Amino acid sequence: MRRERILPRIHTRLTGVEVEAWTVADDGEPVSARHALGLARDTGRATPVYGPFPLGAAWGKAWSTTWFRIRGTVPPQPGPVDLVLDLGWFDHSVGGHCEGLVFTPDGTIVKGLHPRQSAIRLDADGAFLLYVEAAANPLLLGLPPFVVTEHGEKGAEEPFEQFMLRRAEVAAFSPEVHALCMDLDVIGGLAAELSADEPRHWRLLRAIEEALDVYDEADAEAGARRARAILAPLLAMPAHASAHRITAVGHAHMDTAWLWPLRETVRKLARTVSNALALLDADPALVYTMSSAQHFSWLEEHYPELFARVRRHVEQGRFVPVGGMWVEADGVIPTGESMVRQLTYGKRYFISRFGREPREMWLPDSFGYSGALPQLARRAGSRWFLTQKISWNDTTVFPHHTFWWEGIDGTRIFTHFPPAETYAAEVTARELRHAVATFKDKAIASHSLLPYGYGDGGGGPTSEMAERLRRFADLEGAARVTSRSPAEFFEEAEAELLEAGSLQPVYRGELYLELHRGTLTSQAAMKRHNRRCESLLRAAEYLSAAASTLRGAPYPHEDLDDIWRTVLLHQFHDILPGTSIAWVHREARDTYREIEERLHGLIKQAGAALSGEQADPAGGVLPPFAVAKPRAAPVDGAVEVADGGVTVLDDGLLRVVIGEDGHVTSLLDLRNGREVVPPGRRLNELQLFRDEPVRWDAWDVDRHVLRHPQVIDEVTSRKVIRDGHDAGVEVVRRAGASTITLTMWLRAGTGRFETECVVDWRERERLLKVAVPVRVMARTARFETQYGYVERPLLTNTAAEEAMFEAAMHRYVQVSDGDFGLAIVNDAMYGADARAAGDSTAVRLSLLRGARFPDPRADVGTHTFRWAVLPGADVPAAAEAAYAFNTPDLAGLPQVAPLVRLEVLTGHALIDWVKQADDGSGDLVVRVYETQGARASARLHCCEELGAGAVLWETDLLEREIGDDEDLPVAVAGRQAGQARLDLGPFQVATLRIAP
């Protein structure tokens, strides 16, 4: 009855409207509102020509924009009047298909439109004129959730069912009928969640029955008043004294890109934020949150008037910037310095625009969380961490919702997982009941957070959600719900946890997500470009700092800032992981190439300043400041011996045997007589797997996939090659329609066996791995992560251990058996699996996938990968080799003395980054970390040009001096002159500032 006889009476048609339309032609890309409204001309864009548009007509091919001009008259009416539109919505997927943004004729934004926001409040009697920018974003998220479609690319020729303008009319709005709908929604939802054993359940049902008995749709307004009078006493009954407390914050989890391109996110922000502001204006009790400095920056650039309204609400504490990051980045793939910059660029933006520094790290939807994040968040000035994604685990249930998360270095951060297990709640009785039932820490905590509002594609909170929130504020049978800021929640929840004393739960190490393991491999070009940009940025910032310090050259702050912001943007958790549509990744590849060209230009510019003239392409090399050991002197270079199709490579350090089939059957460390390849196994064996995820194509590698490897044995060609002292074997293989070229090198004197793999990839729904079995009996393997490593089990004794069948690595994986270690370093891979196999360890690196959704041709094309095996390498050696292996090949640079030098006294530590201070002072900033999870002491020496009077001190990540009230360990005591002694704890990161 509610659906059929009450909901339709909220709006009653008064009169029709006149609709005209103009479809943006040219390249189909959006135009400015001023252009569409005839207020100004966009250069090179066609003049808008509006023509009559009949109700019921179709509009908009995929990704196009149609502007509607709507005229009408508001007839005399005692109550509110709305313009009601239906652009052809489905009754689901808010933010996942067509949307609209309403403007007045002078260009003022009124509100956004989507399936749950279809009415625009009109002024009193008289004529009106409004414009609607309607975006024909195709529905890519159907039922079942994903269907393979070509609509993820601009200009796709696959047929598209256009949207239809189903409704456009002036209608009277009945507040009383709307309120009755909300009363019934809350009471009916609560009754459904209560047990039939509870009296409250039956009294709610009886009240609903009585209310419906007195409602008469013939006089809906009066009937609604009578019905509400019956329901009012039940809505006035207060919650139990011990009821769980929920802080509800308006939110719209806005994916920076996903099933739409970046340019569409800019418009989604305008629609979502305008709705949120309208809701805040209408209800002074509500609070709205938005993360990602990039999103605020886009509003500032493209919608300055909307941004000014946001700023006013921020000042009032009602529109709350959260997270303190540039974007909601992937939590495991970016390097340590990238995570630092996510925090520093984000926080500096919020401080500069709003005078406020967010204190929480807000990552509800990333695909796992590095164990380095607690330290980085705390060293950036954050106190709290929020996510809910771990509730998606496919094997084990995470044991806590409110707890201390302890990182790999021992730093703790107060952490909360909303037990409603969503970042896009609708404030329903079911969600509140789920929060209470699911909450794991009831014995010591009584409070949780509920982010509500349509997310993923945006939309945000609605007035209906706000109405439910008011009714659930203090209602018998439900949790108490209060609208407050996240900071207010975190302050209270942390204090409550501290009261638990020794019962406070602590979770140590990474937050491994038992799902979405394929994101470590999907769209390999994203990973390679990101790694390359990070390496080039490291070189460019160091060389620019050297050119400024040693030669007085200007430091390119603006260029580097612009490049960093672009790299950080593309580390968003649906771009870098490879889970967006083809359009997003095509644009990203082009952007990455432009960035790499700019970085090479900055490097060349710095090299020229350092040499005093144009850099010589045949000149010196970048002086590394975190170096691998130089080549040892080989016995006779890399000696190649052929014997009946078998090739033996020997440089006096390693001896490699490569069979006629192109597989490595022996890798002998001649320094200690240790054989690396297990008996009967083959190193560099390429394996192909059927990769057909049960649910999430680009996201998942399912456990059953790895059970049935198909070895790629076919050899198209095989030849021995030489390059100076280095020797190797090139093997070309075929796999389906794909061609794979493996070039295996013994790099003379380096102690490493290196492989380059070039793949012309044409496979769909296949996973390509390379097996590197090693004769090392270990219980764990060390996978590099940000500023350290994660030690993961090689055994599968428990369900949680088994669930780590595919895991994240950065530049190395290292295993050891007590007296012998071995490392595998790489230049572009992030996914791997490693398991114990008798007295050996089976390591496989993931190279490529062929997911079909959301990009049907994901990864098709040519890819290059490099990896190397380093027998005898411990963690320090692996870390140094990983740096060297990923250092860009930069010819034409002069030889210069390092700006700073790290003298390690005990243990092991590395200089990770050198740059100029962000404030433009000319100070030098050096980032150092301990590499092996132990303690280290070192002395940092400054070059002569910095001066004997150079002053060194330790700062936080925002380069502010660490105060005495901080509870984080410091590596440098006070301020020191000329040089500084560092005492580092396990995996401790130290940021040092040097004033010349």
Question: Inter-axis angle of helices 220-235 and 199-214, to 10 degrees?
Answer: 160
Active site residue: 365, 441, 651, 855, which one?
365
How far is it, in rounded angstroms, from Cα 619 to Cα 605?
14
How far is it, in rounded angstroms, from Cα 417 to Cα 419?
6
Contact 220, 258 (CB under 8 A): no
Question: Residue type for 282, please?
Answer: A
Question: φ and ψ at 971, to 5 degrees?
Answer: -95, -25
Q: Where does residue 86 fall: left (phi above 0), alpha (psi -120 to 50 degrees), or beta otherwise?
A: beta
How far is it, in rounded angstroms, from Cα 307 to Cα 504?
41
Contact 111, 133 (CB under 8 A): no
Q: Is the preceding peptide bond at 634 cis, omega within 30 degrees of 0?
A: no
Contact 388, 417 (CB under 8 A): yes
Looking at the chain, how many residues does it have?
Answer: 996
Contact 651, 634 (CB under 8 A): yes
Distances (CA, A) of 111 to 486, 664, 746, 901: 25, 64, 64, 57
Distances (CA, A) of 333 to 339, 531, 811, 880: 10, 9, 11, 19
Active site residue 365: yes
Longest Cα–Cα distance in the chain: 100
How far is it, in rounded angstroms, from Cα 491 to Cα 764?
50
How far is it, in rounded angstroms, from Cα 79 to Cα 345?
49
How far is it, in rounded angstroms, from Cα 581 to Cα 754?
34
Question: φ and ψ at 873, to 5 degrees?
Answer: -85, 125
Burial of 968 from C-beta contacts in 10 A (0-12 / 13-18 / 19+): middle
Q: Which tokens sit at 484?
A: 């407050």
Q: How many CB atoms lie within 10 A of CB 736?
A: 14
Question: Inter-axis angle of helices 175-193 and 429-438, to 10 degrees?
Answer: 30
Q: Is the preceding peptide bond at 144 cis, omega within 30 degrees of 0?
A: yes
Q: Which tokens sit at 545?
A: 């700092």
Strand pairing class (821-826; 738-747): unpaired
Residues 6 or more apart whose CB falls under 8 angstroms from that of 467 comprise 179, 182
Q: Which tokens sit at 500?
A: 């638990």
How far is it, in rounded angstroms, from Cα 869 to Cα 931?
19
CA 708 to chain CA centroid, nearest Å: 31
How far is it, in rounded angstroms, from Cα 716 to Cα 6?
72
Residues 6 or more apart whose CB falls under 8 angstroms from that of 694 comprise 700, 702
Gyration radius of the chain over CA positions: 31
Residue with structure tokens 């997270």? 323
Contact 174, 221 (CB under 8 A): yes
Contact 909, 936 (CB under 8 A): yes
How far is it, in rounded angstroms, from Cα 471 to Cα 432?
12
At 250 the three-state DSSP class reads strand
Question: Inter-axis angle of helices 524-551 and 557-569, to 10 degrees?
Answer: 160
Sign of CA dihedral 31, 36, 42, 47: positive
Residues annotated as catalytic are 365
